[in-house]
Structure formats: structure tokens, C-alpha cells
């Protein structure tokens, strides 16, 4: 066990609220990769994701007073990032699949890895064809493993509504995936 346990996100956020920028730097170091991955897939634009990650943490400074003492940090952070992305595109859907293409790792040549990567690539392609509203639901719940409750907190809806959105987005993804692979439904 380390002599000094790592402070929780919530404790760091409380330090940020007291004006401690070093705590913000620690939160950035801890979460920026995860947030970047989400935003790169959501926008389909790695350069935009790079900007949005930094903007999200700067917004976190601006909104620091609204973080509640008993609040959950991750849903709050994703909510800020998601709102920034929605603002940036302001009705114009980001549809580029360039980021998805860039995300597929090179195969090492083994057949099973090749097949798995092919399926992953098809899933990426199918995901990139969905509207932003469905893509964010799938990325937050499926890839980032946010619970229905936390997903509702990010999207500003109830837990039940979030559950319904996930089912609908999965149905849309299934349709897009079959369209991508050419397989019958």
C-alpha cells in the first residue's frame, strides 16, 4: 500500500474549488485520455477532440462552484465535455469516419486477431454512421461503462429515459452494422 493514498476525484475537485490548479492538473492527467477517446469517436475529428478535451477542463474551472460536495465527478466531467461537443457542432452533425479509421489497430497477422479486428472495424464504421445523439449514448454506456443513472445525469434525463435511449441506440447500431457488413438482419 502506498504511504499516501491517491486522493479521490471528488477530493481533488474540492481542491480545485479552493483555487488549487495543481489539483486540476492531476485530474487532467488522470482522465484526459479517456475523455479524448470518447470525444474523438463522438466527433469523428481527432483535432476537434484535442481542443475539446482542453476546453472541457477549462470549463471545469469556470463551473467549479456548481460541483456539489456529494457529486460524482466522472458524469459531471462527461456532461461538460458532451455539452461542449454539442455546442461546437450546433446542429451540424459531425459525420467523418476518419477518427474511426485511425482508431483501428494494426493486425499482427494471426487469423483470429484479423477477424476480430475486422469486426471491430465494421462496428466502428457502423457507429460513425449514427446521429450524434445515439453515438453519445452508446459511447458513454457501452464504451465508458457509465451506468444508466450516470448516463441520465450526463444527458439531463431520468434513469428510465436513459435506459430507453440505450435500447433505441443499440437497435440503430444493429441496423447500421448489418448495413455495413451486408448481412441479413
Binding site for other proteins (CB under 8 A): 19, 21, 24-25, 28-29, 32-34, 36-37, 40-41, 46, 49-50, 53-55, 57-59, 61-63, 65-66, 83-84, 87-88, 90, 99, 102-105, 119-120, 123-124, 127, 138-139, 141-143, 145, 147, 156, 163, 167, 170, 173-174, 177
Looking at the Cβ atoms of 6 and 174, the one nearer to other proteins is: 174
Residue 4 C-beta: closest distance to other proteins, Å: 22
The span from the CA of 181 to the CA of 118, in Å, is 10
Looking at the Cβ atoms of 1 and 167, the one nearer to other proteins is: 167
C-beta of residue 61 within 8 angstroms of C-beta of residue 16: yes
Looking at the Cβ atoms of 11 and 164, the one nearer to other proteins is: 164
The span from the CA of 136 to the CA of 138, in Å, is 5
Residue 170 C-beta: closest distance to other proteins, Å: 5
Looking at the Cβ atoms of 6 and 101, the one nearer to other proteins is: 101
The span from the CA of 92 to the CA of 108, in Å, is 38
Q: From its phi and psi, is residue 180 left (phi > 0), alpha (psi between -120 and 50) or beta?
A: alpha
Looking at the Cβ atoms of 1 and 69, the one nearer to other proteins is: 69
Residue 86 C-beta: closest distance to other proteins, Å: 8
Residue 56 C-beta: closest distance to other proteins, Å: 10
Around Cβ 52, how many Cβ atoms within 10 Å?
A: 26
- Phi/psi of residue 38, each to 5°? -60, -50
Mention every residue, 6+ apart, whose C-beta is less than 8 A from residue 80.
56, 59, 60, 63
Amino acid at each position: 500500500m502506498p504511504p499516501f493514498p491517491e486522493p479521490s476525484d471528488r477530493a481533488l475537485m474540492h481542491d480545485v474549488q479552493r483555487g488549487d490548479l495543481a489539483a486540476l492538473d492531476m485530474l487532467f492527467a488522470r482522465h484526459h485520455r479517456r475523455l479524448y477517446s470518447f470525444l474523438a469517436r463522438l466527433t469523428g475529428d481527432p483535432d476537434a477532440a484535442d481542443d475539446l478535451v482542453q476546453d472541457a477542463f477549462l470549463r471545469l474551472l469556470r463551473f467549479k462552484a456548481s460541483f456539489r460536495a456529494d457529486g460524482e465527478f466522472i458524469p459531471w466531467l462527461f456532461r461538460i465535455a458532451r455539452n461542449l461537443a454539442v455546442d461546437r457542432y450546433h446542429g451540424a452533425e459531425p459525420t467523418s469516419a476518419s477518427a474511426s479509421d485511425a482508431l483501428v489497430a494494426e493486425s499482427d497477422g494471426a487469423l483470429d486477431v484479423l477477424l476480430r479486428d475486422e469486426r471491430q472495424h465494421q462496428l466502428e464504421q457502423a457507429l460513425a454512421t449514427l446521429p450524434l445523439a445515439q453515438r453519445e449514448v452508446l459511447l458513454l454506456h457501452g464504451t465508458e461503462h457509465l451506468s444508466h443513472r450516470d448516463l441520465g445525469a450526463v444527458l439531463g434525463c431520468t434513469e428510465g429515459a436513459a435506459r430507453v435511449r440505450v435500447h433505441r441506440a443499440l437497435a440503430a447500431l444493429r441496423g447500421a452494422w448489418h448495413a455495413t457488413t451486408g448481412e441479413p438482419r
